[in-house]
A = this chain, B = another copy of it.
Amino acid sequence: MSDFDKHRSAGYLANHMARVFAHALAERIRPLGLAPGQFMTLIELWREDGLTQRDLVARLDVEQATMANTLKRMERDGLIARRAHDSDSRARTIHLTEHARALQGPAEAAANAVNAQAMRGMSGAERSDFIRLMTHAIDSLKP
């Protein structure tokens, strides 16, 4: 009846692939007490501490409400602390705890391992095509 084949649909594959990536990452960082959504936030804070929620929203391209909830969980889990902003009393700056700082090495190793596993068997050219084509799709779909 239909010519729609999900195994040839970029959108279906993108969803499926994101789920298996998230699952693989979750397995590896769970022992560290981390969840995948927290990981991306940590990456930005490892790069630069003391960002505001607004900064993180811009860097990670998620909605503000999503980030607010992620930060709430991270605060609950002892990964971040928030301090009053110097010059804007609406904002708070976000700071890694010692514990979160200590996780950088193992967490990045976990992410690198997952990426390596996903691309195992791809040539170097295929790997850069893969990255390039995903970036292309993102740019083409983003409003």
Contact = CB atoms under 8 A, between A and B. Distances in A.
A73 interface: no
B8 A18 contact: no
A90 interface: no
Contacts of A126: 129, 133
A32 to B, nearest CB: 15
Contact of A115 (B9, B19, B138, B142): B9
B134 A14 contact: yes
A131 B13 contact: yes
B16 A15 contact: no
A135 interface: yes
B120 A13 contact: no
Contact of A137 (B8, B40, B61, B118): B118
Interface of A: 1-2, 4, 6-25, 36, 40, 43, 46-47, 61-62, 104, 108, 111-112, 114-115, 117-122, 126-127, 129-131, 133-138, 140-142
5 contacts: A10-B118, A15-B36, A17-B141, A117-B140, A121-B136
Given A11-B22, A13-B134, A20-B137, 16 more contacts: A4-B43, A8-B131, A9-B111, A10-B21, A15-B18, A15-B22, A16-B61, A16-B134, A17-B137, A19-B62, A20-B141, A24-B141, A119-B140, A121-B140, A130-B137, A133-B133
